[in-house]
Chains A and B, each alone.
Chain A
Amino acid sequence: MQRMFMRRVGLALLLMLAATALTFWLVTAAPGNVAALIAERAAGAGADGEMIAKIADDLGLNDPLPLRYARWLGDALTGDFGISLRTGKPMAEEFGERIPMTLALLTGGGVLALVLSLAMGIAGAASNGGGIDRVLHGMALVGASTPNFFVAAMLVIVFSVWLGWVPTFGVSGLTSWLLPWITIALFPASVLARVVRVNLQDTMSRPFATTGFAKGLTRGAVLLREALPNIAIPYMTTFGAQFTLMIIGAIVVERVFGLNGVGAFFIEAIRFRDFIGMQATLTLFVVFFVSINLIVDLLAMLADPRLRRPRKA
């Protein structure tokens, strides 16, 4: 058990290392030429070849790639992700300002997705093929197919422009958080609702559910007490996957609503060829993505003894 745990953690760390090395290689291989960009910042258009060469030399940009990666990794592990080429501020500072915003988005969206999906999935299973079930199925399908930027745009049009209930831009108070949260939660909620629905239906045809009915339990009681705990593992796995995909939702939402989060920073870094900012943000994403997957795997192992057995390849 403990060995399996350690193995998973070790693999996750290895994956983080490999993924950051790959992004480092890609991003530094990008021929934006960091030295030229820095020289341009410092001296405007007057940057000449000599100056660029000196900066490249000072920063060790002429060293072999593995050495540069090792140096970058050493700095990163102590929390030093370099200085953003776009804003001129240390990345650690940028992150300090922006991570809370993105985390608030992800947490609110995640909670909303959790509540919505369970409600929709259970209601669908309770109605089992009836009108409510079909309507919810349709809603889940549309929810899983509507681009999140279109959802955001429609929410703005309806609630800001037509009804004037919430401001179109920025955040002030709880109501202005609602539109971003709904936008970000709609897609995962739809996918998860179907997971709940499909798995509940599957579980309801198992022998123990029949036993429940035979004991005289109502359909609702069987559904909630016998069937629901059994969908925990597929639900958790999908929730983890969807939660990590919410990064994309955050990128879009931060742009539409003008929020200053990590996602917005990432897009700006790409547009301005801020390769240091790009590498730092990608690293953050990798760490987030891999850790969430790891947590989900470990939780699933805790919940289901069958997953603890080492399996054959």
Chain B
Amino acid sequence: MKNWPWAILAPAFIFVLIGIFSPWLMTHDPAAQDYAALLEGPGWAHWLGTDYLGRDMFSRIIGGARTSLVAMVFVLVAALAIGVVIGSFAGYVGGKTELVLISVIDIALALPSLVIALALMGVFSGANFDWMSDYWKMIVALTMAWWANYARMSRAVVVAELQQPYIEAARVMGASHIWIFTRHILPHVLGLVVVYASADAGALVLAIATLSFLGLGVAPPTPEWGQMLVDGMSYIEENAALVIIPGLALTAVVVSFNLLGEAFALQKVPRAVRGRLLSRKKAARAAEEVARKVVEA
């Protein structure tokens, strides 16, 4: 922990703090329109200026932090839980069940997660899903697109761990499956998966913003960075700050989360995985690689 790049992780911490305390930090109502102050530059009344409806940019950036943070936490926790349960179950039970579940995981990974999320947003636009707000549609779509990677990694870890002699020892001692799984295997699974999730948080913030940028995420009155950016695109000649400010906020947060993931990886993940936490697919493969090595040893 000594060599951690604490300073550079500041944006992630600030992002989380701002997200939590956003209602007390906003100087204006982020949805309030002020037609006397359209597209204004930074000033005393509006610290970061106003957008094309005269809404306060500073308050919208602060509000957008909360929108992203809440969605990200929901998706990450849900995807992780689903992935760990399905992946661990597949790995622990083995046999035909495992084969079926692996096939399902492979199918879910046959398209990039964001494309799946986009398609699901299309599916959810049907009348049968009107009971969900757009915000929840986005969270559900992203969760359904995101769990498969976690399932794949969890399974690899479980399979590797099951080969260890101490598992057999536990079994000989009469430990139940539940006991072996929760006491011995689950900690290993969570160890790797949580590390991966911390690196994944950045990708998720990006995905949320991309969905909104494409007009398929959070609905208009709610402040969201990707949406602020696309709104600002129509006014780049008058006030480019409308695009630059949310873009910079987004980039700072993603850089910070990616660094957090890298720092975690260098500290905790086995050497074989180290330095390979570059892409999700690669990371999953590396985990399997570790698993295979353990099996062969």
A contact residues vs B (CB 8 Å cutoff): 15-16, 18-19, 22-23, 26-27, 29-33, 141-142, 144-147, 149-150, 153-154, 156-157, 161, 191, 194-195, 198, 202, 237-238, 241-242, 244-245, 247-248, 251-252, 255-256, 266-267, 269-271, 273, 275, 278, 282, 285-286, 289-290, 311-312
Contacts and interface: CB of A to CB of B under 8 A. Distances in A.
B236 A157 contact: yes
Interface of B: 103, 106-107, 110-112, 114-115, 118-129, 202, 206, 209-210, 213-216, 226, 229-230, 232-233, 236-237, 240, 243-244, 247, 250-251, 254-255, 258-259, 275-276, 278-279, 281-282, 285, 292, 295-296
A191 B127 CA distance: 40
A150 B126 contact: no
Contacts, number: 154
Contacts of A23: 119
8 contacts: A30-B124, A144-B258, A149-B210, A149-B229, A149-B230, A245-B112, A248-B115, A312-B296
B123 A147 contact: no
A282 B255 contact: no
Contacts of B121: 270
Contacts of B106: 15
Between B115, B129, B276, B292, the greatest number of chain A beta carbons within 10 A of the residue's beta carbon is seen for: B115
Contacts of B229: 149-150, 153
A52 B233 CA distance: 41
Given A244-B112, A312-B296, 17 more contacts: A23-B119, A141-B255, A146-B254, A147-B250, A147-B254, A150-B229, A150-B243, A153-B233, A153-B247, A154-B247, A198-B275, A198-B276, A241-B282, A248-B115, A267-B215, A270-B122, A270-B216
A149 B114 contact: no
Contacts of A22: 107
Contact of A271 (B126, B216, B278, B282): B216
